[in-house]
Amino acid sequence: MTQTIRMRVNGQEHMLEVPQQRLLLDCLRYDLGLTGAKEGCSIGVCGACSVLMDGKVVSSCLVLAAVADNKDIVTIEGLAQNGQLHPLQQAFIDHGGFQCGICTPGMIMAAKALLDDNPDPSEDEIKDWMLGNLCRCTGYYKIIESIQAAAGQMQGKETA
Amino acid sequence: MNAFSYRAPETLEEALTLLHEHGEDAKILAGGTALIIMMKQRLVLPDVLISLDRVRGLDFVAQEDGVLRLGGLLTHRAAELASPVRTRVPVLADTYHHVATIRIRNMATVAGSLAHADPNQDPPATLLALDAQVRLTSMQGQRDVALADFFTDYYETIMQPDELLTEVRVPLPQPHTGSAYCKFLPRSADDYATVGVAATVRVNPATGACEDCRIAMGSVGVTPLRAPAAENLLRGQQRTDALLQEAAAAAQQVTDPISDTRGSADYKRAMAGVFVRRALAQAWQQALASV
């Protein structure tokens, strides 16, 4: 059985006819061609599939596309504006948070949700929020530094 | 995932009607963080999936007649942040905060985690120690059940196929009560606990002796467990290290853990003793500090 869903993805309206068991992650990747969100563990543990749904970071591998009906989805592809990288994206490049790249879209989406919620997080708050996003390169310190730098820049502070 | 018929009722009444109609062939989808995994693994194969995503009004937080009421569809994250939960029952806010990751807490609901009935979860232990009740609603009406009578086995509860868990009811702690949830996580911070222990202790403000207490443990049996013999040892007594040791030993007696990647059965039983002692010590200290 199929289901008609309407989603706003990265600001653009989509109407899709999908099988009822379609996951949001598969819908983004295969129906919309947005391959930034990755399938890692498939059980909501690794964070590679993190996207924002109505502003909240979720594991898109655990969300049915049908549940995303009428919701607002933001993926990594939606962050850059007019060819200008989002401060988090730029900070991940500048501070070595972007390593092999597999975890990066999920890391950045989780970090975006954090900074939307708490624009000036402490290091402990960053660690607590990000603990569900795994990096197999184990470059966690660089990722924390990248988030701190982006937070500073977004608040107009001097960055290291 | 196998195919199913997806239904998204707009109201509680519609949801209950669908549940009545489809009974055991249906599953309720709330946050989905547990159910979707079980469906992917083909452990659960519903013909009909009743999503509560569009049902409004079941994510409330209210206080009424000494009871903190949490709507079944309240997410863990919302419960963790709700000011009545933080101020009146801080141990519950703390427990929800320590569940898995922010992504899971953004979706998982307070009713869903109880209906899922996985004994490794955190909230059941704390809610048991708080003597919470759950409200089960069906087309026939509603009934309130003590959480202590709710869980029957791994992933099993007393809920009937046409019932929906619509509300969690937590009695507000009496004055001079302390509480703590202590979770042992030897692997990673988002893992299930090797053992999780919740304790509440109410003291006599004049003497500091324990007037009442409750101890609940997760991950060490087929359901979350109370430790009544250990609780009885404490009532009327002054706090001493020897007493806490004795209570911990009594609590260990009711555990029946399995060996898995989070520890051998013996290790879990040993750690249950350690964490019962810690949770009691913290709760008792907090109660004394409130005098």
Structural domains counted in chain B:
3
Which amino acid makes up residue B65?
D
Distance CA A154, CA A115 (A): 9
What ipTM goes with this model? 0.96
Nearest chain A residue (CA) to B37:
A43
- In three-state secondary structure terms, B279 is helix
Q: Is the pLDDT of residue B147 over 60?
A: yes
In chain B, which residues have their Cβ closer than 8 Å to the Cβ of A59? Answer: 33, 103-104, 107
Residue A44 lies in a domain: yes
Do B66 and B166 fall into the same domain? Answer: yes
Mean pLDDT of B57-86: 98
User: How much is the pLDDT for B245?
Assistant: 98
Residue B17 lies in a domain: yes
Residue A160 lies in a domain: no
- Which positions 79-108 of B are in contact with A (Cβ < 8 Å)? 100-104, 106-107
* Boundary of a domain, candidates A46, A78, A110: A78
Mean pLDDT of B117-133: 98
Do B89 and B132 fall into the same domain? Answer: yes
Put simply, whether B4 touches A (Cβ < 8 Å) is: yes
Interface test with A, best of B33, B96, B103 (most A CBs within 10 A): B103
User: How much is the pLDDT for A157?
Assistant: 61
Nearest chain A residue (CA) to B101:
A132
User: How much is the pLDDT for A146?
Assistant: 98
Put simply, whether B187 touches A (Cβ < 8 Å) is: no
Domain that holds residue B146: 61-170
CA distance A140 to chain B (A): 14
Q: Is the pLDDT of residue B92 over 50?
A: yes
Domain that holds residue A42: 2-78
Do B192 and B267 fall into the same domain? Answer: yes
Nearest chain A residue (CA) to B50:
A67
Q: A71, A8 in Cβ contact below 8 A? A: yes
What is the β-pairing status of strands B48-51 and B5-7?
parallel
CA distance A57 to chain B (A): 6
Mean pLDDT of B200-226: 98
User: How much is the pLDDT for B194?
Assistant: 96
pLDDT tens digits, B164-211:
999 999 999 999 999 999 999 988 888 999 999 999 999 999 999 999
pTM of the predicted protein model = 0.96
User: How much is the pLDDT for A160?
Assistant: 45
Name the β-bridge partners of B197: B182, B217
Give, in order, the Cα–Cα distances in Å from B236 to each of A89, B204, B211, B228: 60, 9, 5, 14
Mean pLDDT of B237-245: 98
What is the residue-level pLDDT of chain A in tens, covering all 160 positions? 899 999 999 999 999 999 999 999 999 999 999 999 999 999 999 999 999 999 999 999 999 999 999 999 999 999 999 999 999 999 999 999 999 999 999 999 999 999 999 999 999 999 999 999 999 998 899 999 999 999 999 998 654 4
Put simply, whether B185 touches A (Cβ < 8 Å) is: no
Q: In whole numbers, what is the pLDDT of chain B averaged over residues?
A: 97
Measured between its terminal Cα atoms, the distance across chain B in Å is 55
Distance CA B53, CA B36 (A): 14
Do A113 and A71 fall into the same domain? Answer: no
Q: How many CB pairs under 8 A join A and B?
A: 79
Structure tokens at B222: 């087929």
Selection from B115, B127, B151 nearest residue B216 by Cα: B127
Structural domains counted in chain A:
2
Q: What share of chain B has pLDDT > 70, as a percent? A: 100
* Boundary of a domain, candidates A28, A50, A78: A78
Mean pLDDT of B219-231: 98
CB contact under 8 A, B100 and A132: yes
* Boundary of a domain, candidates A78, A112, A138: A78
Do B186 and B282 fall into the same domain? Answer: yes
Structure tokens at A155: 């608040």
User: How much is the pLDDT for A1?
Assistant: 87
Interface test with B, best of A1, A24, A59 (most B CBs within 10 A): A59
pLDDT tens digits, B264-282:
999 999 999 999 999 999 9
CB contact under 8 A, B51 and A47: no
Q: B121, B113 in Cβ contact below 8 A? A: yes
Do B194 and B114 fall into the same domain? Answer: no
pLDDT tens digits, B54-67:
999 999 999 999 99
Do A65 and A20 fall into the same domain? Answer: yes
Put simply, whether B36 touches A (Cβ < 8 Å) is: yes
In chain A, which residues have their Cβ closer than 8 Å to the Cβ of B77? Answer: 56
C-alpha angle B265-B156-B118 in degrees, rounded to nearest 5: 50
CB contact under 8 A, A56 and B106: yes
